[in-house]
Amino acid sequence: MDRNAKIYVAGHKGLVGSAIVRNLKKRGYKNIITRTHGELDLKNQKAVEEFWREEEPEYVYLAAAKVGGILANDQYPADFIYENLMIQNNVIKAAHDFNAKKLLFLGSTCIYPKNAPQPIKEEYLLSGFLEPTNEAYAIAKIAGLEMCKFFKRQYGDNFISCMPTNLYGPYDNFDLKSSHVLPALIRKFHEAKEEGKPSVEVWGTGTPLREFLHVDDMADACIFLMENYNGEEHVNIGTGEEVSIKQLAETVKEIIGYKGQLLFNSDKPDGTPRKLTDITKLHELGWKHSINLKEGIEDSYKWFKENY
């Protein structure tokens, strides 16, 4: 990409989009276009078309999405499938209609079957049943990456997709009703320490295994793919390293300095038992993560204390 190319980052206020904007600016890209939800409702096709007609972005990072943890996904499945389908349909179609040079669609590793072989290769997509608690979100994301593939196949559009693993870092969502596990743990342990609570409840048994990628590493990988990848198949983005929820909770507890007890509530859902991405393809392309988990959690906690 030319340093003066017009780049649109959809969802720039969120965890993912804000990291992409930070990374682009660090690399010297100066012509970055953004719109808040109040300025542009991506669910509105006419509004999206008008925005494209006005700005004509050359490169697009589609990071806008309705996201949430197990609780939110389970309670509001209709909202998750409808809003995500509308957002991605409108943006992808506009990028095609107005001849964008390239688009990168960001999905999530929840698109893979619940019991997919581990580590999860890209080709395992659509090979089994999805995890029921986030099925609506997963179906929307699968539709988005397939849409990019089919626009590339039928029209020759340079639309690519990537599937990041569990992300965390600055601008994360720390709302306990809708957050993912890591930011929820950071907030729970911080508040328990501040209030002198004797224990902290963690959902589930603590046995599920998860992979976590700092959002700044994810942004670096996205820009790497935009500059170096043009394939039809989506690409996993992750660390290739996993940790149990129990180990994660103990690490967060240690970093925050909380001295109380950990209580695991096995009446709450565990979600997928294991979810580790196979990142062979990304490594072969020439990219590898650089932020380890402990360092990343320390960075995330620092941002939480300063901003939340």
Contact 247, 208 (CB under 8 A): no
In 132-271, DSSP assigns E strands to 159-164, 166-168, 199-203, 209-210, 212-214, 235-237, 243-244, 261-265
Per the annotation, the verdict on 137 as an active-site residue is yes
Residue in 112, 137, 229, 258 annotated catalytic: 137
- Cα 65 to Cα 160, 203, 226, 306: the distances in Å are 17, 25, 19, 25
> CA–CA separation, 35 vs 222, rounded Å?
20
Binding site listing = 11-17, 106-109, 141, 164-167, 180, 188, 203, 210, 270
Annotated binding-site residues for NADP(+) read 11-17, 106-109, 141, 164-167, 180
Q: SS3 for 141?
A: helix
Distance CA 237, CA 166 (A): 10
Upper half-sphere CA count for residue 152 (Cβ side, 13 Å)? 20
Binding site for substrate, by residue number, is 188, 203, 210, 270
Q: What are phi and psi of 199, to 5 degrees?
A: -150, 160
Nearest alpha-carbon partner for 302 in 168, 111, 124, 128: 168
Length of the chain: 308
Place of tokens 């072969």: 284
| Residue 308 near residue 193, CB atoms below 8 Å | no
Q: Which helix (H) or strand (E) holds 59?
A: strand 59-62
Catalytic residue numbers, as ranges: 137
